[in-house]
Structures are given as C-alpha cells and as structure tokens.
Amino acid sequence: MKDIAWNDLALFAAVARRGTLAAAATQTGVSQATLSRRMTALEAQTGRRLFCHGNAGYSPTAEGRTLLAMAERMEAAAAEVKGWHAASTGPARVRISAGTWTAIHLAQNLNAYWTDTAPWVPEFLHCNLEMDIARREIDIGIRNRRPEQPWLAGNRTSVTQFAIFARDQSVSSWIGSSDDAAATRSATWIRTHHGAEIVTTANDPRVAVAMAEAGIGRVVLPLFAARNTRLQQIGDPIPDLTSEEWLVSHHEGRFEPHIRAALDALSAFLSQPARTP
C-alpha cells in the first residue's frame, strides 16, 4: 500500500480540528475544493471512513479521531525537529585554543573583533599545549611559531615580547612554575636562569601574578598581559623569549564560512601595532 503523505495528514488534521472546509482553508491556504478532494482520496487510501459529512461539516469519526491523535503526535515531532534545526543553523561555534594570557586578552577585548550579528561565536579553550587541529579538537590555534605540518595553514599576526615584572625593584626573589604546570618557554627560562632564586611556585600564571603583586617574587609576562596588572617592568624585554604569533587552522577547514570569518576578525585584531587590554 502506498505510504500516506505527511502533507495529506497535516491537511487532514486541520480539517478535523476546524470541522469545516472553509475554516481549514483559511488556516492552510489550500482551497476548499482541493481539501475536499484530498480528504476523499485519504479515505480511499486508508480504507476507513474518517469524517461524518452533514450539516455539522466535517466531524471526525472514531477512526478519524484515532488518526488525528497520531497526526498530532507527528506534528509535535515535526515542530521539535524544526526547533532543533533552527538552533543548529544559528551562528556556528569556533573553537579557539590559546595560552593563558592570549585567551584572557581575547576574552577581555571580545567586542573589538566580534559582535552578536557575526556568523560565528568564539569558544575559548585555554590550553598551553598544542591541541590537535587535524582531528578538529579545535578550529583555530594561536601559536608562537609557523606551522610545519602540510595540512595546517598559518597567518603571522604579530611579535610577542616578554619581560620581567615585580611589585617594585626591591623584589629579587622569583616565582617559578610547579611541576604539574605546562612547560612554557617563560617557565623554562626562569628555571634555567634563576632556578636558585625561586622561593615558591604556582601551576597557574594568574596565581603567580597575584603572588607577585603581593611582593613574593618576580615573574615573566608578555608585555600586553602585564598592562592589566599592578606590576612594574624590570628591565628591557628578554630577547630569548621574543616570539612570533601565528593563527593556525586546518588548510581545508579555513575555507568554511564561519571559520574564515573568525580568522579574518582575529587577524585584524591581533595584527594591531598596539594592543590595549
């Protein structure tokens, strides 16, 4: 037997609920003549009498009421699917991985490169480790060197400088990175050059900054990140830690509209000569 078309069931439900062809025609935009023809065809297809025809209009029979209950469940399911689809067609999330200070900087300056009308929504994954772009753990990585893998594409945005910071010049001790923290270049530099002067450690650079502001020791920070602290810069930037900043994405994924829009917006923001947190 030929399957019943969903459109026929939707029209049937409208007629059964409204009780007259005229009312159903107003609701559906389908002419009364077409509705009459479709209801007659539906009764023939199902082999059941679905309506009592008379002065009262189109009143559903017991069989018609059973079919109406099933049709209404289908309508509810269709509405649920429509809502799900509408949610999925909204702005796509773009997963962005960056180190602590860059992630905070981007979050604090969100309005400088993103608006709620953009076709993408940023989703930050604060991580000092390189997450896998090839497996799409992330969509965009902000890294300190040019990508080497052939499946990755990179765009150099700026140069990042690091310097020593402390509450004041009199602080001579150091705050290091604990063993369970990511081995960043700045943490390695402190351990290599001032390991004997480390008086305490932290596994989160934000905690290290808080301790430095309390006067416990010195820390090394990117210049743009230090602007948002109460610390003083001690000396010139450290040449060994100066690094390039790269926006990295999958060489094919970068052409997806939402990722392309995110890359363009981030590139314009990160390429500014001076960043103001």
- Segments making up each domain of the chain, as ranges: 6-88, 92-159+242-270, 162-239
Per-residue pLDDT at 1: 55
> Helix or strand or coil: residue 179?
coil
Q: Residues with Cβ < 8 Å from 170, sequence gap 6 or more?
A: none
Answer left, alpha or beta for residue 215, where phi above 0 means left and psi between -120 and 50 means alpha.
left
Superfamily for 162-239? Periplasmic binding protein-like II (3.40.190.10)
In the CATH scheme, what architecture does the domain 6-88 have? Orthogonal Bundle (1.10)
CATH code for the structural domain at 92-159+242-270: 3.40.190.10
Q: What is the pLDDT of residue 276?
A: 41
Q: What pLDDT score does 78 carry?
A: 80
pLDDT in tens, the chain (277 residues): 578 888 899 999 999 998 989 888 888 888 889 999 999 999 999 999 999 877 768 889 999 999 999 998 888 888 777 767 666 667 889 999 998 899 999 999 999 999 999 999 999 887 655 556 656 678 999 999 999 888 889 999 999 999 999 999 999 999 999 876 667 899 999 999 999 999 999 989 999 999 999 999 999 999 999 998 999 999 999 999 999 999 999 888 899 999 999 999 999 999 987 554 3
Question: Three-class SS of residue 273?
Answer: coil
Q: Which residues contact 218 (CB under 8 A, 6 or more apart)?
A: 164, 165, 166, 171, 172, 173, 174, 175, 194, 212, 234
pLDDT of 277 reads 38
Residue 69: per-residue pLDDT: 92
Contact 78, 198 (CB under 8 A): no
47: Cα separation from own chain's centroid: 52
Domains 92-159+242-270 and 162-239 share a fold: yes
CB 141 within 8 A of CB 97: yes
Q: Which residues neighbour 250 within 8 Å (Cβ) at sequence distance 6 or greater?
A: 133, 134, 136, 139, 151, 152, 153
Distance separating alpha carbons of residues 254 and 248, to the nearest angstrom: 9
What are the residue ranges of helices labelled H in 48-118?
A: 62-88, 100-108
pTM: 0.64
